[in-house]
Amino acid sequence: MRYPNGQKNRSSQRASGASRAMGFGNRGMTLEEDINATNDFYRNTHKAIIHKKPTPVQIVNVHYPKRSAAVITEGYFKQPSTTDYNGIYRSKYIDFEAKETKNKTRFPLANIHEHQINHMKGVLEHGGICFFILRFSVYNETYFMPSEIFLSYWNKQVNGGRKSIPHETIEKTGYRIPFHYQARVNYLAIIDQLYF
């Protein structure tokens, strides 16, 4: 069986709108792959234009084993990256960071950097929609957390508070994103509920 975009199905299990825990847990997909597939679906159906931001890299050395194949042997990050994804949906600027953790009880705030937080604050100041997509891979659970909520935990950490967000807190303050066949991480459905 093939997906609508022509790729082969990576699982022999049923492909329906069921949750990850009911048949998609062993597909070998990462959060980034699921979001990229979701964004492809959004673009192909003219719902939204959201892209993964490339990380700016300075290439220093290239090896040419043959004319048709160049191999980059040395490169450096030019500058710290901001967030993972950005684009436009319903005339609004969208900007978000996606993080996956194997931790069972908490999401460590060390996974986020201060320059990312500063970037998100700027997006919010200019009226953009900014959020986090957090996945607990052990439970196959994915959550949408608005930046405004996440920033309150970040600010507590900066002021000497705990350096993580407990799983149960994310369950209460975030929005669970169920797995879907085409839009695997259908975050636009939550944006519709919260912002439109």
Domains of the chain with CATH codes: 20-55+81-195 (3.40.1350.10)
Q: Is 97 annotated as a binding residue?
A: yes
Cα 137–Cα 123–Cα 134 angle in degrees, nearest 5? 5
Q: Is 32 annotated as a binding residue?
A: no
What's this model's pTM, rounded to 2 decimal places?
Answer: 0.76
The predicted pLDDT at position 67 comes to 72
pLDDT band at 6 (very low <50, low <70, confident <90, very high): low
Closest CA to 33 of 179, 193, 194, 191: 179
Q: Is 193 annotated as a binding residue?
A: no
The predicted pLDDT at position 56 comes to 66
Mean pLDDT, to the nearest integer, of 107-133?
94
The predicted pLDDT at position 53 comes to 85
C-alpha–C-alpha distance, residues 57 and 46, integer Å: 31
The predicted pLDDT at position 23 comes to 40
Q: Is 141 annotated as a binding residue?
A: no
